[in-house]
Amino acid sequence: MQSEKRIFDDLAKVLNGVAGTVAGMGREAEASMRERAREWAGGLDLVSREEFDAVKTLAANARAEADALGKRVAALEAALKAKGGTAPAKAKPSK
C-alpha cells in the first residue's frame, strides 16, 4: 500500500515537472514569435500613428487653405470683371 502511494507521488512529481517544462517552452516560443514579428515589422516602411495623424491634419489644413484661396481668387476675378476689366483665363488644375 505504501509503495502504491509512493508511485503516485513520484508520478505526480514527474507530471508536475513536465507541465512546468511545457509551460516554459510555450512562453519561450511566444517570446520568440514576438521578436520575429518585431523584426519583420521593423523591416517594413511603416509610420507611427502619431506621424499618420500629423500628416492627415496637415493635408486637411492644406485642403482648407486651398479652398479659401480658390474662393478669394474667384472673388477678385468677379471684382475685376465688375470694374470692366477682363478676368484672366482659368488655368487647368494640375493633377
pTM for the predicted model, two decimal places: 0.44
Tell me the CA distances in angstroms from 87 to 24, 75, 84, 92, 93, one per residue in order.
78, 11, 9, 15, 17
How large is the average pLDDT for residues 72-90? Answer: 83
Grid cell at residue 8 = 503516485
Position 1 scores a pLDDT of: 56
CA torsion through residues 34, 39, 40, 46, sign: positive
The residue extents of the domains of the chain are 1-46, 47-82
Mean pLDDT for all residues in the chain:
88
The residue whose grid cell reads 476675378 is 77
pLDDT digits (tens, 9 = 90+) for 7-50: 888 889 999 999 999 999 999 999 999 999 988 887 788 888 99
Position 51 scores a pLDDT of: 94
